[in-house]
Amino acid sequence: MRKRIHKVANFLAFNLLFFALYLNFIYKDPSAAPLLEKSQHPASSAFGESLLDESMQKKETPAIKEHLKAIASPKAAY
């Protein structure tokens, strides 16, 4: 009789564990995640170009500017 009670208790505990996992990871509560309105957009884009802070932007030195001008000019020195 005691062995049977242990089997039933283990079965119930196992089912309770998987029900808790289902609630945590599979079932998504629709009221839990607030939706963004059309007027609200995140500050940075998820894909493509990202926004950089002024301190993180690349500094253009005079040597880089001359190099960019040389690349952009139609007359390439060969």
In this structure, is residue 67 part of a structural domain?
A: no
Range of the domain at 21: 1-29
| Residue pair 69/76 in contact by the 8 Å Cβ criterion | no
In this structure, is residue 8 part of a structural domain?
A: yes
In this structure, is residue 11 part of a structural domain?
A: yes
pLDDT tens-digit profile, the chain (78 residues):
999 999 999 999 999 999 999 888 887 766 665 655 555 655 655 666 655 555 555 666 777 778 778 887 766 555
**pTM across the whole model:** 0.35
In this structure, is residue 14 part of a structural domain?
A: yes
pLDDT for the residue numbered 68: 79
pLDDT for the residue numbered 23: 87
In this structure, is residue 24 part of a structural domain?
A: yes
Q: How many domains does the chain have?
A: 1
Burial 23-47 (b: 16+ CB within 10 A, else e): eeeeeeeeeeeeeeeeeeeeeeeee
In this structure, is residue 70 part of a structural domain?
A: no
pLDDT for the residue numbered 45: 59
